[in-house]
Structure 1
């Protein structure tokens, strides 16, 4: 399935759902807007101790018309479905459920290549011990694009890469999300326990 986006597509919207905490690095996404088309905006969902800092950064960069802060949203899926892209900027994760949730609603993803989860979820055929270094270029996986943690320039390039229409998906994103269903995971655990 070839997912195309035109650079002339008006009103491109990036979604971001996470707690506002220094580890989540939402400021990187705000800074990356300076390198994106003027018709590209970001919708943030979540609360946290770094929210006010991010709002100040938006003001400092003059991006008030391009960034929306919705706070905690009871049903983020209804908003995510309307976004053109989902971005995760974390420097560390456990299992980033929000990536699986984004896949489940069929939203393309750009994610930091942090420990742990994004590479396993978005690029399962790659070397799972690899983590992109800060000075390396973004990588295109089967189900999304990975960029080095904290590298705003590569984040911008990865987003533009998608909006330029360069993403080829081997199957619908929703199908990849099914690999993480409760039934499938329970079956895998059961097989592991039986083999011990």
Structure 2
């Protein structure tokens, strides 16, 4: 089978990682896989791709200075996608991310292969442009299938779109070296870890504030936030203002999030909104005790509060600080949560999720 993907870039990010894993899975099964990115500069994947996978940069990712340029640039993107797909003649096209999904649907009108689009962010929040939201409502019914991350997210769409929706969450890989029997070890320093882009919706300002409230009583604990983004300077400034520079690190992007998680003692997801919390699931698969804001969507569908993790009200810094301190002080509870957390791979294991994708594709081609 010939499979084609479209996505804006192959840089760091949850959607990029998932599309890479899916492409590698099907390439490993002997299928011909091509990934189209909107710009030439994005053809180098942050995540490792199978050598058989072809990546085509469309040189169509230029930024727009005004609405007129936006129309012209998007027309160029549509033309570039359509021209390339007509040459590739895939058996199916899978597109990731709202704007790219819309452009991909329009570019394939009249072509003979089915199109699946996948919403990766929270559709209640994204896109934040009224124009793109309107285009989504008009264009999405043309797609053959629309993949969402959760059942609850269907409520953000009209009835005609809902009929074409299917829920397939992200795959969570089994971690061979996970903390199968998490034991609290006696060491000088313990680490709270978080991973993600340094953007507003990740709530790292809230996490810093929560950590500052417990730091004085727990000098043996530090906070490490992996990732990069536009708010790095602002967050580092907040760290200094809270006098946490000796206890908080921003090491940047990690090429091996699994290794970073396995070195940690506690994971915190401070996001105020999520399409699908990849980092949370990865932390659980690694056998870490986890705390998460109960944001839309997914944390409450993943965490059975008090059994395999802790949920706190979204944005409540006091409750987050209390939950962190409670687990820091309760070694037994951390061990129990960690043991149950690993079972996430039984529900969202990569083989199970990819089987769902394969069954869907078989129905369409």
Q: TM-score category by the smaller chain?
A: 0.7 to 0.9
Q: CA deviation at 1:186?
A: 4.2
Q: CA deviation at 1:183?
A: 2.0
4+ residue segments displaced more than 3 Å: 1-6, 166-172, 186-191
Return the alpha-carbon distance in structure 2 between the equivalents of residues 186 and 71 of structure 1.
30
Q: CA deviation at 1:172?
A: 4.1
Residue 241 of structure 2 is matched in structure 1 by 60
TM, length-normalised to structure 1: 0.80
Partner of 2:343, secondary structure, is helix
Residue by residue, what CA displacement relative to the aligned partner does 1:109-161 show, whole Å, maximum 9, x if unpaired?
A: 000100001111112xxxxxxxxxxxxxxxx3321001111111100111112
Distance 1:9 1:32, change over 3 A: farther
8 Å Cα contact 1:5/1:162 also seen in 2: no
Residue 181 of structure 1 is matched in structure 2 by 349
Q: CA deviation at 1:99?
A: 1.2
- Mapped pair 1:12 → 2:177: no
Residue 22 of structure 1 is matched in structure 2 by 200
- Mapped pair 1:153 → 2:331: no
Partner of 2:268, secondary structure, is strand
Residue 127 of structure 1 is matched in structure 2 by none
Return the alpha-carbon distance in structure 2 between the equivalents of residues 73 and 60 of structure 1.
26
Return the alpha-carbon distance in structure 2 between the equivalents of residues 187 and 174 of structure 1.
21
Residues 120-139 of structure 1 mapped to structure 2, 5 A cutoff = 120-123=301-304
Unaligned runs of 5+ in 2: 1-179
Q: Which has the higher helix share?
A: 2
| Cα root mean square deviation, aligned | 2.6
- Mapped pair 1:106 → 2:287: yes
Residue 116 of structure 1 is matched in structure 2 by 297
Return the alpha-carbon distance in structure 2 between the equivalents of residues 158 and 31 of structure 1.
13
Structure with greater contact order relative to length (CA < 8 Å, sep ≥ 6)? 1
Residue 140 of structure 2 is matched in structure 1 by none
1:163 pairs with one of 318, 324, 328: 328
Distance 1:107 1:80, change over 3 A: same
Q: CA deviation at 1:60?
A: 0.7
Partner of 1:143, secondary structure, is coil
Residue by residue, what CA displacement relative to the aligned partner does 1:90-125 show, whole Å, maximum 9, x if unpaired?
A: 0100111111111111111000100001111112xx
Residue 75 of structure 1 is matched in structure 2 by 256
8 Å Cα contact 1:108/1:143 also seen in 2: yes
Unaligned runs of 5+ in 1: 124-139
Distance 1:152 1:183, change over 3 A: same
Return the alpha-carbon distance in structure 2 between the equivalents of residues 9 and 109 of structure 1.
20
Return the alpha-carbon distance in structure 2 between the equivalents of residues 103 and 187 of structure 1.
22
Return the alpha-carbon distance in structure 1 between the equivalents of residues 345 and 212 of structure 2.
32
8 Å Cα contact 2:190/2:264 also seen in 1: yes
Partner of 1:179, secondary structure, is helix
